[in-house]
Amino acid sequence: MSMVTAELRPHPTSPCEAVSRIGIEIDDEAFPRALQVRFRVDGDIGRVRLPRPGFARRSDGLWQHTCFEAFLRPDAGQSYHELNFAPSGDWAVYRFGSRRGERSLPALAAPAIEFGASRGHCELSAEFSIAELAELAAAPALRAGACAVIETVDGSLSYWALAHGSERPDFHDPAGFALRIGPS
């Protein structure tokens, strides 16, 4: 099993007292056919607003509440894909031809999302097809970013990423594509 691990950091402008740590694991053993990502949030989960589980569907605007995100681009490319996963099971995928530009909605089968929570932590795992995203499947390696939006019960939002490259939270910032997926 090949595993890439890292920790997310809150943006300095959006601290979150309810969360002490967010870890990410990316299992790339099945790359370039599929990827599995797992987020673990440690803290006082009772203070985190979690969307209710429901019938999973493709949905926009997930970043407005607690959700987890993966950004993937070919190692030498400029275009990238953004995948969003909500604890409710809702999901989204977007393709960008340039930073925040040339957005399209690629076809992708619904990812397999599992979510569980206890008092001290919660975990979200998502497995999705890379083979359906031809541009990513054809790349010998990928650069990846991982992010999370955490909403607390008072409605505050906190933005977590591998790296923050600007004064305002921006998950599309190339500085956040800090992980390499694929053969060494």
> Could you say which DSSP state residue 63 is in?
G
**SS3 of residue 114 by DSSP:** strand
The helix (H) or strand (E) run that includes residue 101 is: strand 101-104
- Local confidence band at 1 (pLDDT 50, 70, 90 cut-offs): very low
For residue 32 the two structure tokens come to 């370039």
Dihedrals phi, psi of 50, to nearest 5 degrees: -115, 130
Q: What pLDDT score does 184 carry?
A: 66
Inter-residue contact 67 to 33 (CB < 8 Å): no
Residue with tokens 């990423």: 161
Radius of gyration of the chain, Cα coordinates, nearest whole angstrom:
15
pLDDT tens-digit map of 134-161: 999 999 999 999 999 999 999 999 999 9
Distance CA 34, CA 142 (A): 12
Give the pLDDT mean for 36-49: 97
On the question of pLDDT at 11 being above 80, the answer is: yes
Going along the chain from its start, the domains and CATH numbers come out as 3-181 (2.60.40.1190)
> How far is Cα of residue 36 from the mean position of the Cα atoms in its chain?
11
> Pairing state of beta strands 142-151 and 179-181?
antiparallel
The maximal CA–CA distance of the chain, rounded, in angstroms, is 44
pLDDT tens-digit map of 85-125: 999 999 999 999 998 899 999 999 999 999 999 999 999 99
Average pLDDT of the residues of the chain: 94
User: Exposed, middle or buried by CB within 10 Å (0-12, 13-18, 19+), for 59?
Assistant: middle
Give me the amino acid identity at 126.
A
Inter-residue contact 69 to 63 (CB < 8 Å): yes
Distance CA 120, CA 172 (A): 30
Distance CA 153, CA 135 (A): 39
